[in-house]
Structure 1
Amino acid sequence: MNVLITGGTGFIGQAFIKWRQPHGVNFTCITRNPKKAHKLFGGSVRAVTSLMEVDGEKFDAVINLCGEPIADRRWSEKRKQLLRYSRLTMTHALVDWMAMSDNKPGVFISGSAIGYYGTHASDDLLVEASAVRQGFTHSLCADWEEEAMRAADLGVRVCLLRTGVVLGNGGALKKMLPAFRMGLGGPIGHGKQWMSWIHLQDELRAIDFLLRHQTLQGAFNLTAPEASQNRSFAQSLGQALKRPAKLPLPPFVIELMLGDGAELLLEGQRVYPQRLMQAGFEFKYPELDEALADIF
């Protein structure tokens, strides 16, 4: 299988390439930093800097994981524009490239996020058809998905990855660990907000599942079946690290750090992977404690 991938040097993309590449999947990675790609993959993955370099080539699938990290820094207006630009521009370019190609891929798997639903302070269970709350995260993900879905008009099967917080050696956990390892971790604010998470291995397995099941298309929630409230997550992480985790982080600290982006951590949403489950996908790590035990 020949796969064109964006975001291949990121947390999820890098892990997916390293997992599937030894098993007969040939990757071509579009990246701004080919040297980084060569270093990460030991020269076993082809790295290009633009779609012009792959004009006329045949790929079985395109996996689109592009985008600046969503919660790495404070949301200024400039930052919001960058979050949109880094996702929408490449996605638009990929679909335009497919439209001009005589060798269209069989499937286009494109990133999104559970931010599509907006933040929800309630305990409502959100599935793919649930109502959304308007706001920046919804408009960002909705516009991102709309760009990707243009490929369906070309006869390409499109799957959208509404991904939650991915837990693994890196990503979100990497930012949490210093405080928790020092015994300074704990819930954020009141801790009642829901956190929809997924083990990195299940994220990779779900992408591969969608890649290979040719009848599946549309949006899929990539979250574990059992979301966790933030205070329960903090307790489980503390237990996994054998450290106390009782010091709450005041909301104003998160607001100072992330600005409007604080809503991601202070409100959250309780998301359920209904369509994946209906399609027969089986989670290897459906429960948080066993997911954290595996990681650590």
Structure 2
Amino acid sequence: MRVAVAGSSGLVGSALVPELRQAGHEVVRLVRRPPRAADEREWDPPAGRIDEGALDGVDAVVNLSGAGVGDRRWTHARKQVLLDSRIEPTEVLAGAVAERGIGVLVNASGVHFYGDGGDRVLDEAAPRGRGFLSDLCRDWEAATQRARDAGSRVVLARFGHVLAGGGLLGRLRPIFRLGLGGRLGRGDQYVPWIHRADHVAAIRFVLEHGSISGPVNLCAPHPVTNIELTRALSRALRRPAPWAVPRVALRVVVGELADEMLMSQRAVPKVLADNGFEFRYSKLEDALAELEASGVGSQT
């Protein structure tokens, strides 16, 4: 299979490309600058442009585009960046998939689609919730409509927190190493997580399984609460985590983003499980232990 990947330099994309190649697939990387390697093709989402021939012979497109949600405080301008960095590229790629008759589009989204679910188990049939990120995920997924209308198989890959050198752990590790780690709010909110190795394996799985379409939760089968995550990371790093950050203090530091950080999403990967996907790291302790043993922790 010849696969075009947008967002190939990010946390997920940088691991997905070698995963696909090792499995025997050919990969074309879509980049937003002049190509510097034989496998790169230039595209410009704001201009709606993809280089001539960039998608020739492509069987599937994987779209991982999107600015980091938790990278900085949410201002009005930052919210617009979060929207534009997702909606525009998705519309461009969905249109290209439709026009060229490409059979598959795997498009990133997030389990934030479900909003605050409390302690309810959230599989792919759960309804959309409320909040900025829920609305963003709705619009992000809706931007794939042209590909669906053209008959392409569209997978809406709803990401949990990907555990790797960056992302959630990249932000938490330095704090915990200083002995300043602790739970957020009451700590009873569920955190959907997945080891990066399982994450990229799951993307390859949905690419290769033609019966899978629509929403797919990409998260481990055992979501944990924030306090369970705090304790597990404390043990993995051998650092105490005695603190608690109340909601009011979190809002002072990160503003509106605090409300999203304290949302509970007990998301489970029902579609993956029903189709026989096997996780290498189904337990948080095993995932953290592997990341520390592999030296990922030293990268942050």
Do both share a fold (TM > 0.5)? yes
Corresponding residue for 1:29? Answer: 29
Equivalent residue in structure 1 for 2:179, among 183, 199, 224 = 183
Q: Does 1:49 align with 2:43?
A: yes
State the Cα deviation string for residues 77-104 of structure 1 (Å, max 9, x = none). Answer: 2111111111010110112222332xx2
Counterpart Cα distance in 1 of 2:3 and 2:55: 14
State the Cα deviation string for residues 252-279 of structure 1 (Å, max 9, x = none). Answer: 3432333222122212311111111111
Corresponding residue for 1:18? Answer: 18
Counterpart Cα distance in 1 of 2:252 and 2:65: 27
Counterpart Cα distance in 2 of 1:56 and 1:278: 32
Counterpart Cα distance in 1 of 2:249 and 2:38: 43
Structure 2: stretches of 5+ with no match in the other structure? 45-49, 293-300
**8 Å CA contact 1:28, 1:48 repeated in 2:** no
Offset of 1:34 from its aligned partner?
5.1
Counterpart Cα distance in 1 of 2:71 and 2:179: 23
Counterpart Cα distance in 2 of 1:55 and 1:34: 13
Corresponding residue for 1:292? Answer: 288
Counterpart Cα distance in 1 of 2:55 and 2:262: 47
Offset of 1:33 from its aligned partner?
4.1
**8 Å CA contact 1:12, 1:204 repeated in 2:** yes
Offset of 1:54 from its aligned partner?
3.0
Equivalent residue in structure 2 for 1:119, among 113, 116, 119 = 116
Counterpart Cα distance in 1 of 2:63 and 2:252: 32
**8 Å CA contact 1:73, 1:257 repeated in 2:** no
Corresponding residue for 2:71? Answer: 72
Q: Does 1:135 align with 2:131?
A: yes
Counterpart Cα distance in 2 of 1:209 and 1:25: 12
Offset of 1:153 from its aligned partner?
1.4
Counterpart Cα distance in 1 of 2:205 and 2:258: 33
Q: Residue 11 of structure 1: SS of its match in structure 2?
A: coil
Q: Residue 198 of structure 1: SS of its match in structure 2?
A: strand
Q: Residue 112 of structure 1: SS of its match in structure 2?
A: strand
Residues 92 and 249 (structure 1), Cα distance of their counterparts in 2 relative to 1, 3 Å cut: same
Corresponding residue for 2:4? Answer: 4
Offset of 1:163 from its aligned partner?
0.6
Q: Residue 243 of structure 2: SS of its match in structure 1?
A: coil
Equivalent residue in structure 2 for 1:207, among 203, 208, 211 = 203
Q: Residue 277 of structure 1: SS of its match in structure 2?
A: helix
Offset of 1:247 from its aligned partner?
1.4
Please tell me the root mean square deviation across aligned C-alpha atoms, in Å. Answer: 1.7
Counterpart Cα distance in 1 of 2:269 and 2:174: 30
Equivalent residue in structure 1 for 2:216, among 194, 217, 220 = 220
State the Cα deviation string for residues 224-264 of structure 1 (Å, max 9, x = none). Answer: 11111101100000101111112112323432333222122
Alignment-mate amino acid for residue 27 of structure 2: F
**Number of paired residues?**
287
State the Cα deviation string for residues 136-185 of structure 1 (Å, max 9, x = none). Answer: 11111011111114312112111110111110122211111101111111
Q: Does 1:148 align with 2:126?
A: no
Answer with 18-27 or 91-100: which moved more: 18-27
Corresponding residue for 1:251? Answer: 247
Identical pairs, percent: 37
Counterpart Cα distance in 2 of 1:117 and 1:168: 24
Counterpart Cα distance in 1 of 2:279 and 2:168: 20
Offset of 1:128 from its aligned partner?
0.9
State the Cα deviation string for residues 96-154 of structure 1 (Å, max 9, x = none). Answer: 222332xx22211000000111123x211111111232221111101111111431211
Alignment-mate amino acid for residue 73 of structure 1: R
Alignment-mate amino acid for residue 207 of structure 1: I
Q: Residue 71 of structure 1: SS of its match in structure 2?
A: coil
Alignment-mate amino acid for residue 61 of structure 2: V
**8 Å CA contact 2:154, 2:213 repeated in 1:** yes
Equivalent residue in structure 2 for 1:163, among 156, 159, 162 = 159
Answer with 242-251 or 106-115: which moved more: 242-251
Residues 130 and 22 (structure 1), Cα distance of their counterparts in 2 relative to 1, 3 Å cut: closer
Answer with 274-283 or 21-30: which moved more: 21-30
**8 Å CA contact 1:226, 1:286 repeated in 2:** yes
